[in-house]
Amino acid sequence: MSIGEYYKRLELPETASPEEIKRAYRRLRAKYHPDRNKGRESNVEPMFKRIQEAFEVLTGARAPAPHARPAAPETRRDANARAPQAPRADERDMRNPWSSAHPWQAYRSGEEGPPMRGANRHDKLYVPLDVALNGGEAPTSYQITAPCRQCRGMSARFNAGPCPDCAGLGKTAQGARCGSCAGTGRSNVNRCPACQNTGVDSHWKTDQVTVPAGAWDGQQLTLTGGGFPGSNGGGAGDAILSVVILCGSEIQRDGLNLASELKIDFVTATLGGPYETHLLGRNLSVAVPPNSAQGSVIRLPAHGLSDASGNRGELRLHVVLAMPAAVTHLTDAQRAQLKQMFDDAARRGDDSQ
């Protein structure tokens, strides 16, 4: 029997992933479980044990039968070739079915079976508005399930031993299915205090993700190796993160367009001209039109958010008038002169009407 036979028992191709193996095992185990086949226990129990054996072999919890090997194309044997002799009992016990000549990995460093790449992790990446516009880094933190750090994920497979209630037979002395081990003949005799022999542990992982300038909502960024750990020496999967842009309370958003207040003193608003401000994480030089009134809007095209098609919104600055800081230092004469200037301007306006 080849290793491929174990896949056939689970109705899977030999390219099946660990998740596909688990799903097939759960489905078939439920189908052939003796408890779900009352009156047919003797018919389904052999299939149930075959499914259990296949799952344990393919997940590394049990070594395959000594004669099991990966399927290989048949070669024509010389008619005069001598048939191989069956190994002695002591040789069968000592032989390692996962020797270095085996195409799957040998037992070493607690590894069994072929290396399998970990699954990808899909999550959201919350990006501050200024980082989305200008580029930078955004932190991400997510929970992953990894091999237990105390037992290195090996307790579930190496702490398993013959069931003490049925001596590993899977049946009671009366021939009924053993209830302690569900007929498998195996049970965990020792427990890892950290993972309770599940072999896995959940913990939080934190990474800094590089965000390109002009990132958009829904853009997917890949963090190589940031996913779930692999098994049996396989590499970790990737973290695939979907961008969600966060705006603070001082910024209003309308699609790709952004809006904010621009506080300028009344002198600048009256005279107009360039005005330097720091907004959205960068320095901006704004051209203020002369006689800008309270609430007027200054539009800056292509200063808003982007989308996947390369479109760019605008930044709308709503003028808010403020007193210049120097007003508290005006002398009485300067105040009188200022008043006179505005009075003269008002009279000219009246005369022109």
- Higher local confidence (pLDDT), 145 or 343: 343
Q: What is the pLDDT of residue 74?
A: 40
What are the tens digits of pLDDT across the range 30-55?
Answer: 888 887 888 787 888 888 888 888 88
Residues of the chain with CATH 2.60.260.20: 118-149+200-246, 252-352
Q: What is the pLDDT of residue 66?
A: 58
Q: Kindly report the average pLDDT of the chain as a whole number.
A: 79
CATH no., domain 1-71+87-114: 1.10.287.110
CATH no., domain 118-149+200-246: 2.60.260.20
Return the top range by mean pLDDT from 8-17, 92-101, 186-195. Answer: 8-17
Residues of the chain with CATH 1.10.287.110: 1-71+87-114
Q: Does domain 252-352 have CATH number 2.60.120.10?
A: no
1-5, 36-40, 342-346: least confident range: 1-5
DSSP state letter for 326: G
Q: Does 144 score more than 80 pLDDT?
A: no
Q: What percent of the chain has pLDDT over 90?
A: 29
Average of pLDDT values for 210-214?
95
Average of pLDDT values for 323-345?
86
Task: Give the integer Cα–Cα distance in Å for 327 and 19.
Answer: 72
Task: Give the integer Cα–Cα distance in Å for 319 and 287.
Answer: 12
Phi and psi angles of residue 249, each rounded to the nearest 5 degrees, phi first:
-70, -20
The count of other CB atoms within 10 Å of the CB of residue 196 is 12
Structure tokens at 323: 């007193």
Q: What is the pLDDT of residue 251?
A: 93
- Higher local confidence (pLDDT), 324 or 110: 324
What are the tens digits of pLDDT across the range 213-253?
Answer: 999 999 999 988 888 877 767 788 888 999 999 998 889 99
What are the tens digits of pLDDT across the range 259-279?
Answer: 999 999 988 999 999 999 999
- Higher local confidence (pLDDT), 179 or 332: 332
Q: What is the pLDDT of residue 227?
A: 82
Contact 113, 62 (CB under 8 A): no
Q: Does 69 score more than 70 pLDDT?
A: no
Best CA proximity match to 264, nearest among 323, 315, 327 = 323
